[in-house]
Structure 1
Amino acid sequence: MLLGVVAGCSSLPTIVPDLARSNGPAVLLEGARGPLSMAQSKAILDGLAIRSPNTDIFDRHLALEEGIADSPLTTGNQVLLLQDGPATYQAMLAAIVAAEDHINMEVYILDDDEVGQRFAQALMAKQAQGVQVNLLRDSIGTFGTPAAFFEQLVASGIQVHEFNPVNPLAARDAWQLNQRNHRKLLIVDGHTAFMGGINISSVYSGGSFRSGSRGAPKNAGDDGTAWRDTDLKLQGPVVADFQKIFLDDWAKQKGPPLAPRNYFPPAQTAGKLVVRAIGSSPEEPFSQIYATLLSAIGSAETSVRITNAYFVPDPQLLDTLEAAAQRGVDVTLILPSQTDSWLVFHAGRRHYDRLLLAGVRIYERRGVILHSKVALIDGVWATVGSTNLDWRSFLHNHELNAVVLGADFGHQVQALFDKDLAASDDIALEQWRRRGLGVRVKELFARVWEYWL
């Protein structure tokens, strides 16, 4: 296993974005009927800029988005922010029950527990009704799930395919143990998509907010602690871009031929939001999610709000956060106070001193296992997805994020951030510097493994 990991060594790129607006053609959007005209695109973007706190800030982030990622900016979308497992599972299962043509699902963890069985039964029921279900599961993420769980799905007619098998004898190309599919994606009938950080597991069975208590929430996971996470439900033209990502993953993994279905129905306008789907993989020259996030932070003028589960920043991300704080941007991080990975936890904490000294404000979310991956820049640029702020997400994993532009959605993300902030503890520099020797030793030990975390 170690040989397989070492063989996958790679490095992060240096991101130096050109944040000036191009003198070339104006930014063009895509809608339900394809590319919009220059006048139509300008009218939509001008409307978003007017609703933003500062139109110059919106223009800068728009230029940044247009210049880095290669997927289209689409308008006419509706985006629903989903908090924690219960609300997300309810929305996902409702969409599955209503499916009429196909269900495409890409998972990292799919446990054989109460929640996993609920999804299995719902998917098998739809397959029995003639709805084609295609499931792509990561080999490591589902390593602990019994084979019998997937055998029942296959027996029902569901297409189940394993991403990058752990077994070298089952490898379809050069064996790459270290490259994992960390994406979480559900697409129903080509018109509704769910994506974010939430796996399919009973650890998400409880909500993460509980009024009047600093303790562990009720109805939590196996160890009594709820998991705090964020997902999105999307409808509109951007769903076709998520569908392309799923089908591309299936093809690259040499999955069996998919049953003919209407995977790309005519797009329908569902709302007014401008959204971009961004997938990243180790095969690409660099992570587009990494480049986009770094550029957004680097161009921030007023605020950077980040909630993230696994914080093991590389030097360039550290420099970018530090530089933003030092030029007067309000940089605030919400990070875990407890975790399911103590190596990641302590590897990230060793950077607190430097960030706090630079003026970055750090809070630790109490009473939950924080698993959310959300960022909001200047109130107008937001991203939600599967990407952690660590080397593994940026170098080794296949990840998936959505970027949503505009102040209207930014207000929703800010409200959720404020809610998490109220349930978090402030980490003060002087207090942090008084931490014990045992904690410092753990940080030094974890530092050795940063690249693989």
Structure 2
Amino acid sequence: MDRVPSDGTPPRIASIHGVLSPKQSSDIMDRLKRAAGPTEILERQVAVNEAVSGSPLIKGNSVNLLVDGPATIDAMFRAIGGARHSVNMETFIFEDDEMGRRLADLLIRKREEGVRVNLIYDSVGSMQTPASFFKRLRDKGVNVVEFNPVNPLKTAKKWRLILRDHRKILVVDGKLAITGGVNISQVYSSKFSGEGKGPLAIPWRDTDILVEGPAVSEFQKIFLHAWEAQKGPALNEKEYFPEQKEAGKNLVQVIKSRPGEAGRTTFIMYVSAVAFAEKSIHLTSSYFIPDRQMIEALRDAARSGVDVKILLPKTSDQSMALYAGRYYYDELLEAGVKLYERRNAILHAKTAVIDGVWATVGSTNLDFLSFYNNFEINTVIVSSDFATEMEKMFTRDLAESDPIKEEEWEKRPWASRMREWFAHLFARML
């Protein structure tokens, strides 16, 4: 994507009263420019997102950054515990461990209180969870849908094992949403301690957000669409869309993707954001296996003087993906991209903050599975205040990371190079 100038047309901004006039939209953009300085990303990238996804910027939202797993888990339990009407949850992994059982007990309790509880879990992501775990939820009145079942006899649609639901969405009472990268698993429950040995003995580092305001309806629509597509029990949609009120000052755009070339909206979101950046690109990615278009966009940005920093894992639960990602380090470093590897944690976050005003938190990894095969969701937040919070989080992570220096990287053993070359041959499968 070329680095082209803006034509001056403001992006479409929606409110609880409908779409704002061009002048009202321009006034909002002008205030953001005064706070963050001029940047193409404020108008061009947001317009690209809307063109490919149909999702406008929505004003009037509160967005709280849930920096790590413990913060996210606490927020989930508080939100569900306070539910009065409905709980809708969509997740890739729902494990039968301490956290999973606690959450299941809470969902059952809320159902007994009369709250409508609907759950979508991915069949492959939750493959290790026994069927009896979900049967207990169903027996207690929770509506449970298995996304694209591994067993072809259980699906009413064409069976395609590779298509997975990687989204993480929680919507409570239609007025609060939590989304990001955190699955339902005990591995997210501990804070960074610097202790432990082996990839499964150290904490997982992930990030979510809590959204309140009119943008929550977008998450609800996405959940209900997935529910209907998976032939879940019929739901009365009118019961899931309460009247919304403005809850804050953040502009939010909700971007969902689906498998196939026409559905790669989160891929377009990332590539266009990188292409339109003018000052800084700070990415955090748990599984980093970029395609050629993303590599070129990152290289072009760095060569044009943009501060490009990418935070990546030093240890991973997927070693082949780790080596495949490292295969691309050489050409990125040569172009001036700064790479860092996070120590003493399994880095699982998928976030970005660009030009000090545009940020995204979501489920999308910078790899082929997310861009081609998975159903994903990312939230774009256009706010200098929220971007500042994201930058602070990124800086704290960098302090716990090792920089990859080009001259040292070139001296790595040939055995490492061979592992990287071999792993990258399977890039589309990792």
Same fold (TM over 0.5): yes
Report the alpha carbon displacement of residue 79 of structure 1 after superposing the two structures with TM: 0.4
Match of 1:117 in 2: 101
What is the distance in 2 between the residues matched to 1:62 and 1:160? Answer: 35
2:6 aligned partner: 21
Instruction: Check conservation: 1:20, 1:63, Cα contact below 8 A.
Output: no
Q: CA RMSD in A?
A: 1.9
Alignment of 1:21-420 (within 5 A): 21-22=6-7, 26-54=10-38, 58-208=42-192, 210=193, 215-216=194-195, 223-258=200-235, 262-283=239-260, 285-420=262-397
Distance 2:307 2:210 in 1: 29
Structure 1 residues 56 and 446: alpha-carbon distance in aligned structure 2, compared to 1, 3 A threshold: closer
SS at structure 1 position matched to 2:375 = strand
Q: 8 Å contact 2:254–2:377 — kept in the other structure? A: yes
Task: Describe the superposition over 1:250-285 as per-residue Cα deviations: whole angstroms up to 9, x where unpaired.
Answer: 111111212566211111100000000010001561
Deviates more, 1:35-44 or 1:304-313: 35-44
SS of equivalent residue, structure 1 residue 333: strand
* Residue pair 1:64, 1:296 contacting (<8 A) in 2 also: no
Higher mean displacement: 47-56 or 361-370 = 47-56
Q: Distance in 2 between matches of 1:222 and 1:115?
A: 19
Other structure's SS at 2:222 match: helix
Cα deviation code 1:431-452 (max 9, x no counterpart): 1111122212211221121011
Measured in 2, the distance between the counterparts of 1:68 and 1:118 equals 39
How much does 1:59 deviate?
Answer: 4.0
| Partners of 2:258 and 2:264 within 8 A in 1 | yes
How many residues are treated as equivalent by the alignment? 430
SS at match of 1:376: strand
Against the structure 1 CA distance between its residues 395 and 450, is the aligned structure 2 distance closer, same or farther, given a 3 Å change threshold? Answer: same
Report the residue type matching 1:438 in the other structure: A
Contact 1:189 1:262 in 2 (8 A): no
Q: How far apart, CA to CA, are the structure 2 residues paired with 1:57 and 1:290?
A: 16
| Structure 1 alignment gaps of length 5 or more | 1-15
Matched-pair contact (CA < 8 Å) for 2:57–2:252: yes
Instruction: For residue 366 of structure 1, give the secondary structure of its aligned residue in structure 2.
Output: strand
Distance 1:265 1:18 in 2: 41
1:68 CA displacement: 4.0
- What residue identity is the alignment partner of 2:336? G
After superposing the two structures, state which structure 1 stretch, 50-59 or 350-359, moved more: 50-59
Q: Decide whether aligned partners of structure 1 residues 59 and 280 sit closer, same or farther in structure 2, where only a CA change above 3 A counts.
A: closer
Deviation, 1:224, is: 1.9
Aligned-residue offset at 1:353 = 0.9
Residue 62 of structure 1 and its aligned partner are, at CA, apart by 4.3
- What stretches of structure 2 of length at least 5 have no aligned partner? none
Q: Is the 8 A contact 1:202 1:221 kept in 2?
A: no
**What TM-score do you get using the length of structure 2 for normalisation?**
0.96
* 1:221–1:350 distance in 2 versus 1, CA, 3 Å: closer
Aligned-residue offset at 1:49: 2.1
Structure 1 residues 324-370: Cα deviation after superposition (integer angstroms, max 9, x where no partner): 11111111111000000011000000111111111111000000000
Q: How does the TM-score come out when normalised to structure 1?
A: 0.91
Give the distance between the partners of 1:97 and 1:17, measured in 2 at CA. Answer: 48
Q: Which amino acid aligns with 2:195?
A: A
Matches of 2:417 and 2:140 in 1, distance apart? 52
Counterpart AA for 1:275: V
* Alignment of structure 1 residues 427-442 onto 2, 5 Å: 427-442=404-419
Deviation at 1:67, TM superposition (A): 4.2
Matched residue SS, 1:111: coil
- Closer/same/farther in 2, CA of residues 51 and 61 from structure 1, 3 Å limit: farther
Q: 2-side partners of 1:234 and 1:378: how far apart?
A: 22
